[in-house]
Structure formats: structure tokens, C-alpha cells
Amino acid sequence: MAMTVTLKVWRQAAPSAEGRFETYKTDHAHPDMSFLEMLDVVNEELIKSGKDPIAFDSDCREGICGSCGLVIDGIPHGPDKGATTCQVHMRRFRNGDTITIEPFRAKAFPVLKDLVVDRGAFDRIIAAGGYVSMNVGGAQDGNCLPIPKDIADLAMDNAQCIGCGACVAACKNAAAHLFTSAKITHLGLLPQGEPEQARRVVRMVEQMDAEGFGACSNEGECEAVCPKEISIASIARMNRDYLKAAVGK
């Protein structure tokens, strides 16, 4: 059964260009389509009419890569909890709905074109310390490094972060604390990451601040929209580790 939807889409030709909302209507959406498949249909219609298609990021379309970040009706990634934009389906909307689509808004995420933003700031935070560089020798059998299950589970919960930036887009301060703390936590909890823990947290937090992200006011918007449902408890852990490292250096 076909659906009719009206889209109010942010269009911006280039980073320095003035942006605006433009309205498009399609009668060829379907409840079983993903949100991105619906945008594909709209783009086909725009191309056929000789107009510039809507630019948006996507890659895996399986909720793995995080590149599909859009703000749908004011919610990063849309109405489904624990899901990325590509996992949202048109059955979440009603026939005749008007849907507003915007890019992630943050000073540190400049708009490149339309709904595409530059999330290179996240890459630079990772490059500042989100890795293990110590020589730990050859690969060992997994049972040689006993790790309590609760610690292993917590590390893996944080390792799920896909760096999509929804936490930044949801935060009124455009803070990147949930992303940064998840990357710090999943390495710092494991034996391989412990030797560099103090240096890592200082370097990554300082790079986060240098990128222009805002301060965390601990209101939880980031956790609410995170597609991997990472807990803000990681932010408290990062703040504690940073204080210990900063005082000790």
C-alpha cells in the first residue's frame, strides 16, 4: 500500500552557502521501506525532473557504521529507540504526514552539503589516544588473560559505539562526552589498555575540547538517542579518570 508523505528537507549547496528548508512530496513511499529507501525514491524523482538530489550519508544500511545520521522531526536518527536512521521504517509514520529532516547540528560538525556533515573531529579525538600502542607481544590464548565477566561486558558495551554523533546532535551544548568516554572506557577497562590509561584520557579529553564541542551538563539527551544505548555512567568514569590523571601528571 503506497503512502504519501511531505518532506521538509534542509538544503545547503556548500559549507559557506546559506541553507534553507525545501518541501518535497512523494506518493511512492511504502510502509515496508526504510527511511533511506524512501529518500532514494525521492531522489529518483528529483533526478528525473532535472533537479539536484538530496545529499545524505549512508554505507552499510544495517545499523553498523553510523554514517546515516539524520535528525528526523527533531530527534537524531528518528523515533525508534536504539536504532540508526537506516533502521527506521516508514511504518513509523502515517499516510499524509509531514516529516522534517535536518543534518546533525554542531559547531564541530560543519555541514558539507544538505544533510552531510563533517565528523572528522571524532577521527581526531581517536587519533589523540584511542588506541593501544604498547608492545604487548604476540597474540595469547584468550584464557591467559582472565577478565571478570562484569568488566568484560562493560568494556564491550562501550566498544559498541559507532561514532555516529547522535549524542552530539541531541545535546543542547553539542557535547561529545558520551562518544569520548565510550572510547576511553572500553580500552581502559581491559589489561591491554591499562598502561596508557592516564595518557589516553588526558589527550582525548583535551582534543575533544580543542575541537569546539561543548560542556556536558549531565541531562541525558545523549544516552536517550544513542543507537547502541551506551550509558552516561561512562562520562562519570571519564571525568574521574581525567581528574586522577591531570592531578598526577
CATH 3.10.20.30 fits 3-112, yes or no: yes
Average pLDDT for the chain: 95
Give the Cα-Cα-Cα angle 163, 208, 212 (nearest 5 degrees).
105
Strand ranges in the chain using DSSP code E only, listed in sequence order: 3-11, 20-29, 71-72, 75-76, 98-102, 111-113, 116-117
Q: What is the arithmetic mean of pLDDT over 195-206?
A: 95
Q: What is the pLDDT at residue 137?
A: 66
d(C-alpha 233, C-alpha 150), whole Å: 15
Task: Give CATH 1.10.1060.10 domain extents, the chain.
Answer: 119-248
Which residue(s) pair with 25 in the sheet?
6
Q: In this structure, are residues 69 and 169 in contact, taking their beta carbons and an 8 Å threshold?
A: yes
Q: What is the pLDDT of residues 49-86, one digit of tens each?
A: 999 999 999 999 999 999 999 999 999 999 999 999 99
Percent of the chain with pLDDT over 90: 89
Question: Structure pTM?
Answer: 0.94
Q: What is the pLDDT of residues 99-130, one digit of tens each?
A: 999 999 999 999 999 999 999 999 999 999 99
Confidence of residue 146 (pLDDT cuts 50, 70, 90): confident
CATH topology of domain 119-248: Fumarate Reductase Iron-sulfur Protein; Chain B, domain 2 (1.10.1060)
Taking the alpha carbons of 209, 164, 236, 172 in that order, is the dihedral positive or negative? positive
pLDDT over 90 (residue 144): no
Task: Give CATH 3.10.20.30 domain extents, the chain.
Answer: 3-112
Confidence of residue 136 (pLDDT cuts 50, 70, 90): low
Amino acid at 87: Q
Rounded to the nearest angstrom, the gap between the alpha carbon of residue 195 and the centroid of all alpha carbons in its chain is 28
